[in-house]
Structure 1
């Protein structure tokens, strides 16, 4: 089953409205015959609990202003497609100026088809943003901590004849932090995967795949030596089904095992599974729901709710999302994500500490497109975490409300 790594910035509630509008701009650009686009945006958001502190700590509320510049190209030629996107962002805080920062994101993808049976994709991305202040299972900080992410992925598919297809690929990623206390969490990994697909008819795919991942916390000190290596092996079945009409289904079932070189007490294995239902009864309404369960390294990031952490024993997540076009120019959206994690930390002395936490994120948004190249949007978000043990994960709640405006030329 595919391994998902979360790269979510700390101020996710602050930038949600800007990100949603930028996504809509990119989708609009792809629909135009002109492959090039250039956009600018600005937003203002109020955050009730900037540092994601617990109830016993004083909350830090602030106003955050942001400005962004985005450019890209989405070009199709023959059986090939090239997509490039670059964005720059500035964030300024009214009362916490030490957090003022500039960030960026770069991404690109190339898909190709050499023959009827042979095709593939190549992609990569790089970004810089603020890391989470209170991610859970890592130090809670109130300083500027920049997170750098880079990754590369390649995938090749070959038709074996009839309804059968084999595919394989490789990937690489790296995560780095600027704060000295977060250097033990600097991480890199490379992975490879191989799978077999069966497509008996359009709208139906059955798949069997395996993935091997080798990772390293290369600056962590464990048992007197530098570096903590890990290996993860996954084997899974997949079903993608579009029966016709308004619904489509995606199901995954598999098993994963993660082993550590120096901290054997953190080894974990277990069931990985997900079931997703998408429903679009009309062009105006779209509903999606997903229930997922994972074990080990990637359990917190399956639904992009939390950071990746090696102390997750298992995670169960439930997500709902709704998009509704009220008119040709007004759109509404809502989403709810609830995640429960089972955690365990094993110290260098072999002492095991266990616990769990629950995280909930609710977002409500609206956008207005008065003209073809202009979009205005507002969004409210609420985050809440409860924890059975503050040794691993500090509870908090936070609210944010912001509005943004974007203009795109194409």
Structure 2
């Protein structure tokens, strides 16, 4: 559901299993007030309060040379006034790390989730019924050591997104990709990777259906100039071919650079800048604090994120993040004719504090602000809005 999401990493932080105990079960209660619960355009905001009760489980178990990790969350979300948005959400992730020998390493990850999403269409039409977005994803990564400094790497990724309401079906997406490359690391401080990737996907409900294929060359450098800082750089040259949204066909480039710094034993800082030109696939799981999900309606998207985490005491953790995102929009992605273009800019600010009252009991409060403005001729592809959220939660673990 769409609420102050900064609390999630804070809650996950407390989910670290007790030493020697591979499993844990937690109950969660959360109350959040949202000044624009439907994410309606400026002037049409409706506020509401959301009550959530959830059950979380974790497993982290070594099995010989393998390791199994399971995280599961089941949550009932009830709206005080907008009862049509009441929903039961869930998210389950399963990860298996394995090492069959002969310098071969692998990791398999599975994810299945259902959450409330996209409550206002991109053209500004407000629909009061709840739209449940279902996501499934499978990721497999393999590596094979060749010599001391070179490693062969490869992987497979498959993703599917489906919306429960027909009005949101344009965002339905299926894709899969294969990649193969090499990694070079001569020192512990610097790791270089080059990958070739082939992706194929489909927006089945975009017009008569938009099939696409994409070939990418990805270069990545991970550098740790000091023991307390890390710089991660990614550059991608891609060529796409679309059957319907032909305006997207051609060569594009994407990239991202992030910097993390453990300034002191209590303070951690993060800065990140990114540009996305790929189609739908990279709009999920990219780690950005840009919480406005955009799927098939942006030609180019750039984001800048900054964040800070400060552990005031052994029990108190404060976190703040800010994000700015700009999209280059076309009103004619389906026809492939760039007859009218514009852009929008989204800003988010999130603050959170958590208190570890007991080893198995955590309290957290968070507040967030979202806003979006438009410029140029977006022709129904975007709209301005703003929203303020705040709330508190409690999480109790049994380990």
Is this a same-fold pair by TM over 0.5? yes
Match of 2:153 in 1: 167
Counterpart of 1:409 in structure 2 is 398
Equivalent residues in 2 for 1:224-243, closer than 5 Å: 227-243=209-225
Paired residues in the alignment total: 392
C-alpha distance in structure 1 between counterparts of 2:10 and 2:115, whole Å: 18
Counterpart of 1:221 in 2: which secondary structure?
A: coil
Does the 8 Å CA contact 1:84/1:108 hold for their aligned counterparts? yes
Residue 277, structure 1, aligned to residue 266, structure 2: no
Q: Which runs of 5+ in 1 are unaligned?
A: 1-8
Q: 2:191 aligns with which of 170, 180, 205?
A: 205
Q: Does 1:141 align with 2:127?
A: yes
CA-to-aligned-CA distance 1:298-353 (integer Å, 9 cap, x gap)? 57554252324233221211101111000011110000111111111325484632
Equivalent in the alignment of 2:349? 362
Distance 1:115 1:394, change over 3 A: same
TM-score normalized by the length of structure 2: 0.93
Q: Choose which of 73, 95, 101 in structure 2 pairs with 1:115.
A: 101
Closer, same or farther in 2 for the Cα pair 1:236/1:44, shift >3 Å? same
| Residues 197-233 of structure 1 deviation map (CA, whole Å, 9 limit, x = unaligned) | 00101131011112111111223432xxxx3211122
- Per the normalisation by structure 1, the TM-score is 0.91
User: More displaced, 75-84 or 365-374?
Assistant: 75-84
CA distance in structure 2 between the partners assigned to 1:296 and 1:359 by the alignment? 19
Following the alignment from structure 1 to structure 2, what is the Cα–Cα distance between the partners of residues 350 and 284?
52
**CA shift for structure 1 position 143:** 1.9
* SS in structure 2 of the partner of residue 24 of structure 1: helix
- Relative to 1, partners in 2 of residues 1:137 and 1:206: Cα closer, same or farther, differing over 3 Å? farther
* 150-159 vs 350-359, greater mean Cα deviation: 350-359
Q: Tell me the distance in 1 between the aligned counterparts of 2:283 and 2:373.
A: 15
Matching residue of 1:397: 386
Contact 2:190/2:224 (<8 A) preserved: yes
CA separation in 2, counterparts of 1:354 and 1:268?
18
Shift of 1:110: 0.3
Give, in whole Å, the separation in 2 of the partners of 1:87 and 1:148: 14
1-structure distance, mates of 2:392, 2:250 = 43
The answer to whether the 8 A contact 1:137-1:309 is kept is no
Deviations 1:279-315 (A, max 9, x none): 0022211101011112132575542523242332212
Alignment partners' CA distance in 2, 1:374 and 1:217: 44
Shift of 1:396: 0.4
1:167-189 C-alpha deviation (Å, 9 max, x unpaired): 11111111111101122322211
| Deviations, residues 136-191 of structure 1 (Å, cap 9, x unaligned) | 47865332111111111111100111200011111111111110112232221111
Separation in 2, partners of 1:110, 1:135: 38
1:260 matched residue in structure 2: 242
- Alpha carbons 2:325, 2:347 under 8 Å: kept: yes
Aligned residue among 35, 42, 47 for 2:34: 47
Cα deviation, residue 135, structure 1: 6.4
Go from structure 1 to structure 2 and tell me whether the alpha carbon gap of 1:266 and 1:202 turns closer, same or farther (over 3 Å shift): closer
Give the distance between the partners of 1:87 and 1:68, measured in 2 at CA.
7
Contact 2:361 2:395 survives alignment (8 Å): yes
CA root-mean-square deviation? 1.9
Specify the SS of the correspondent of 1:184. helix
- 8 Å contact kept, 1:383–1:398: yes
- Structure 2 portions without partners, runs of 5+: none
Task: Tell me, yes or no, if the aligned pair for 1:118 and 1:159 is still in contact at 8 Å.
Answer: yes
Q: What residue number does 2:324 align with?
A: 338
Matching of residue 56 in structure 1 with residue 38 in structure 2: no
